[in-house]
Structure 1
Amino acid sequence: MTGRSAPTVLPPSLRAWLGPIAALGTLVVVVLGVLYAGHSEPGRVDRWIIRPTADSVRPPWRRFALATDFLGEPAGAALLMVAAMACCLLLRRPRAAVLIVAGAALTVGTATLLKHLAGRTIHGDGNLSYPSGHTAFVTALALMAALIATGRLGLGRTAATSLVLAAALVAGATMGWAQVALGAHYPTDVLGGWCTALAVVPATAWLVDRIADRMADVARREHP
């Protein structure tokens, strides 16, 4: 018996792996932020990727890119959040619903803060671009959904790690492609947004579990 009042949102099978992954994500975010702080032009890697794709995608792929981009806009993000929280509550996983709200808020908040710290712009019109908030949000949501699914399915370490990383990679790559294809971000902005989610979500999940467990312990002591 563990004494927990609800299933954890950070599965034990993933704790040993997500810590180093989060640390690596943090390192990448910081390094890229320092390298491109105050820049208003694409870097060498950005130029290599951007030339054939930036703002040049044609129908029907352009429509797909625009639809994907919408999921990171306030209205689209709100729809995704409501759907994710409804699923958590239907599955009677209130702790998971808290993770969805806290993880998304902290990821987007961190990305917004980093934009102002880095001061990187795109198109010369003052639009802050590093890191990509759209990519960070969608990656975070996919990562949290994979964590919740991993815990519910009781997957082992290898399967759980594969599922979580695959979900983050697919979501981040899809939104990242849309952002670069529409000319909204540089590729390194997208990488920074992806790594922001990898850094924030595991820490948030750990914090949600810790707070929830302490609250459950207090409740048990008061009402044995």
Structure 2
Amino acid sequence: MTGGPAHVVLPAALRGWLGLVAALATLVVVALGVRYAGHGEPARVDRWFVRPTADSVRPPWRYVALTLDFLGEPVGSVLVVVACVAGCLLLRRPRAAVLVVAGVGVTVGVTTLLKHLVGRTIHGPGNLSYPSGHTAFFTALALMAALLATDRLGLGRTAGTSLVLAAALVAGATMGWAEVALGAHYPTDALGGWCTALAVVPATAWLLDRTADGLTARPTD
């Protein structure tokens, strides 16, 4: 005998739409990566938003940007992930806690791999910039939190998808602004990071559900 049914991390009502979003996001990530591979200067579209030498934000907004940036750094990100995992466990959502770890891990791993494959730099050689890992990380957390909220609130396809995409947009725009304002990334880097999370998290959640459900359904002696 087992306890109650495990809560999925990718509600069935959202799978179709989020699968489409993930596919489109993947295309954007690849297209931008190919377009700016090996570049070390801002693109024309980047100049529409900032000067080539950003880092012009002034206090108090600079402190806000620095705080957000810290949340994406190793120490800050570990603290955030631990807090999110603890929250999931308190809500009795162990599968969601696993998704937080797996989703963040895969997202960070993919952005790191893409940075080395694309080779786009900012502020000189060695400072790989595409896609923005900070933006991907923050967006991934928002996506996972919204998926958990969708399940707990029992939202349908339209409301659930709207909540997930709105959370991703707010998180991506917020961290993307901070990274661009501090001169750490180009706007297209932030867009690439945002799309990376949109591509990775739904796929990771779907795979986690499939794996966990398969293990649960496996017959025992």
Pairwise TM-score range, normalised by the shorter structure? over 0.9
2:105 aligns to what?
A: 105
- 1:4 Cα shift? 8.1
How far does the alpha carbon of each residue in 1:53-104 deviate from its partner, in whole angstroms, 9 at most, with x for none? 8100000000000001011001110111011100110111111111000000
Once superposed, which parts of structure 1, at least 4 consecutive aligned residues long, lie more than 3 Å away? none
Q: Unaligned stretches of 5+ in structure 2? A: none
- 1:125 Cα shift? 3.6
1:48 aligns to what?
A: 48
- 1:124 Cα shift? 1.2
Please report the RMSD computed on the Cα atoms of aligned residues, expressed in angstroms.
1.4
* Native 8 Å contact 1:99 1:144 kept in 2: yes
Query: How many angstroms apart in 1 are the aligned matches of 2:158 and 2:124?
Result: 45
- Structure 1 residues 141 and 207, CA gap change in structure 2 (3 angstroms): same
How far does the alpha carbon of each residue in 1:165-193 deviate from its partner, in whole angstroms, 9 at most, with x for none? 11100110000000000000000000000
1:96 aligns to what?
A: 96
TM-score normalised according to structure 1 size: 0.95
Aligned residues: 219
Structure 2 residue matching 1:121: 3-state secondary structure: coil
1:120 aligns to what?
A: 120
Query: How many angstroms apart in 2 are the aligned matches of 1:108 and 1:69?
Result: 15
1:154 correspondence with 2:154: yes
Q: Unaligned stretches of 5+ in structure 1? A: none
1:27 aligns to what?
A: 27
* Native 8 Å contact 1:4 1:216 kept in 2: no
2:84 aligns to what?
A: 84
Q: What is the one-letter code of the residue matched to 1:51?
A: R
Sequence identity of aligned pairs in percent? 76
Query: How many angstroms apart in 1 are the aligned matches of 2:210 and 2:149?
Result: 20
* Native 8 Å contact 1:53 1:181 kept in 2: no
Q: What is the one-letter code of the residue matched to 1:31?
A: A
Query: How many angstroms apart in 2 are the aligned matches of 1:27 and 1:125?
Result: 27
Structure 2 residue matching 1:9: 3-state secondary structure: coil
- 1:5 Cα shift? 3.4
TM-score normalised according to structure 2 size: 0.96
How do 1:1-224 and structure 2 match up within 5 A? 5-51=5-51, 54-218=54-218, 221-222=219-220
* Native 8 Å contact 2:42 2:52 kept in 1: no
* Native 8 Å contact 1:53 1:180 kept in 2: no
